[in-house]
Structure 1
Amino acid sequence: MANEIKKVVLAYSGGLDTSIILKWLQTEYGCEVVTFTADLGQGEELEPARKKAEMMGIKDIRIEDLREEFVRDFVFPMFRANALYEGVYLLGTSIARPLIAKRLVEIAEETGADAVAHGATGKGNDQVRFELSAYALNPAIRVIAPWREWDLQSRTRLIDYAEKNQIPVPKDKRGEAPFSVDANLLHTSSEGKVLEDPAEAAPDYVYQRTVDPEQAPDTPELVTIGFEKGDAVSVNGEKLSPAALLTRLNELGGKHGVGRLDLVENRFVGMKSRGVYETPGGTILLVAHRGIESITLDRGAAHLKDDIMPRYAELIYNGFWFSPEREMLQALIDKSQEYVAGEVTIKLYKGSAHLVSRTSPYSLYSEDLVTFEEGTGTYDHHDAEGFIKLNGLRLKTYGARRKRVGGGR
């Protein structure tokens, strides 16, 4: 098969692993390599990736700013669902992979490449996410996963290979790396090495995007977020693009230590792993979105959304963003957001983001219905008697049988 591959599009970060993969593809497959580096807001200078690719003889180097597309077309649709994997994880890594795969496939079609390649290991979820997305978008695409093919299975062997092939090895990679990091505009993810024992607390230096909540400002800060059709559109009255808005919330949340998570999660490939996540802006956004939904969504719609949310989150985590079932659920979720509009105010303080107030021109909240004072007569207290009797009918029947047969509680 190697001889059939003439050109490959590689998801390239410029780091040691993908630089080794680049050289390995050139050597083992004897093919031309097109590098693709996505700017998803990871906060790193990307020009060094271009220079390293040039140094390794790459002629077609793609570096693209995808921050707006990432937030607009992937992060925001996910947040309309209030998606949390296993109840807590805001899916920062998971939601980035389908966009990278999408561009890999598109560049392969543009350049006439035979295959795409990624640097995900054989133990992780990312290999599944990249490849399922690629196959959904182009059923005929070939995917090369070097970590499942080569014998460079240790850090020592990787470094030896790099040195033999004149690939620069950063000094901090010559020893055992303390942990690995994945970052984008939504979050940072840290795992491995010093984090592998879940019985040990994560060292302070693991956290990069948030201050220690104990060291955060002693004065709370209020932030008001405006929504239209379920998406955040403004911060403190200022209209912002999706990427600019999430950047602003990251700054505010990071300053107050908001959005830290230490999680042992269940990977799709079958093992448990421990990760430390920082999602400051996303944490604020989730609280705000649930706040505006609380006054604009009907009870049935809100509860249905909560029912399907774990399934929706699991689909994203497992790599099924481009599946028909995720698209079907998205259509339902998006329909629910037609009147999710208004403003929510959040208080940021010492690692917490608490909802303070919410208002909407489409609010379903009625003071007249809930007031303890005398209302206008819309609600008749006597109606509750029949309501309770009808709902209690089956419980009376069940209780009578239990009493008759001597059943326990």
Structure 2
Amino acid sequence: MYIQVRTVDTKNKITLDLSKTAKVSELKKLIESHFNIQPDKQRLFFRGKQLEDEYTLFDYNINVGDVVQIMEKASVIVTENQEKADSKAGPSNEISTAVKSPFDDFLGEAVESSDYFKVGEYVDGRDSTYGAWFEGQIHKIYKDKNYEENKETFKSDEISGWPHDGYFYEVAFIEEGDISCTIKVRLLDVRPRAQEKIPFEDIKVGDKVLANYNIEDPTKRGYWYDCVVSKVKSGQRKSLTAEVFIGPSTSLKDCKILFTDEVMKFGETKPLMDRKPNTDVEPTARQTEIPMKCDHCNNNERRKCRECGCHVCGLKTDESKQIMCDECDYAYHIWCLTPPLEKIPDVDDWYCHECKNDENEIVSAGGKLKESKKKAKMASKQNNSTRDWGKGMACVGRTKVCTIVPFDHFGPIPGVEVGTLWKFRIQASEAGVHRPH
């Protein structure tokens, strides 16, 4: 019997001829002669399982022509300094919300304020990942170590017109009163918090405003972006078209702004001495996301719905007695389950009966295979003979199944001419003739 062994990157592939009763350890020795990888550094995978040395190819149902993937274990070299550092470092329970910034290598000393902002001030910060503005608060201000050397190379933002001022601002984004993450930005990506809404009657073509827009689905609420108004249509049906800036320079033209009554005037960056001393008071948060709405019942409490209510009975009552599946995200009353539960289980992850995998069938990497009663009764498992039956074509499995005709078909088969010959009987089964099962 022959099988194929292929590297994970699919660049190298070999064909090996060996017995179906051969152990995995024998397969690894053959692979070593071709790929020059020591057996103890080989990891072999087939159908999501890691092949272990004490089992045979037959135990893993590897048939003729099947592909086994090989991965080489990485060689980890631990130095004395690393061992000392690992022994000194204790477990930490703190969860870091800081995002790795490209400016970390240029941070100088921390200061309490710059010419434009101070620590603790509520601002809008622009996240380079989304290109949108988010509400936040300045936690720290750092000096730029290389500012004097590269002072002339910094460019201004197309909207604000502000270049780099020689400081980096660590802004903590706030969601529902909690810090979601912190980023480090320059002056062009931070400005005072936008608070003033602009009446629709006062919006004119060419105005630079802050508006809510969803790039992926313009019919829904999204993030807040800088916009330049290009068209204003008043009357019974108000409409607003603008050029939406995603980041400092990238823009989308002819974007229809959905929430015309929430267009805001973004905060103007001014020196601290020229601003009013009221920036320490947290302003009202802007609405970024709308409450979830069920597309099936439109949040009608009197209507049964298996999407937003119990997935079994459809009722929306007793929310405290409902448990949600972590896979399909459907809710279930604890008494609607099969079998019913007496209380909400105290577990981190819970799965319904349709999504839950049988733990007895899961084989972890390096674990032993589950014993099969069917295989234990097979003649191949009874060691009554010393003959190696796994090398020939008599016991190989089918690599394809004929689906042109049903398995109990009697009569001619399309594509199989009268007088066709096959070398092995398994080929006749694959063609749809004399199928044993």
Give the structure with the larger strand fraction.
2
The answer to whether TM tops 0.5 is: no
TM-score (norm 2): 0.19
Larger radius of gyration: 2
- Normalising by structure 1, what TM-score? 0.20
Which gives a bigger RCO, structure 1 or 2 (Cα 8 Å, sep 6+)? 1
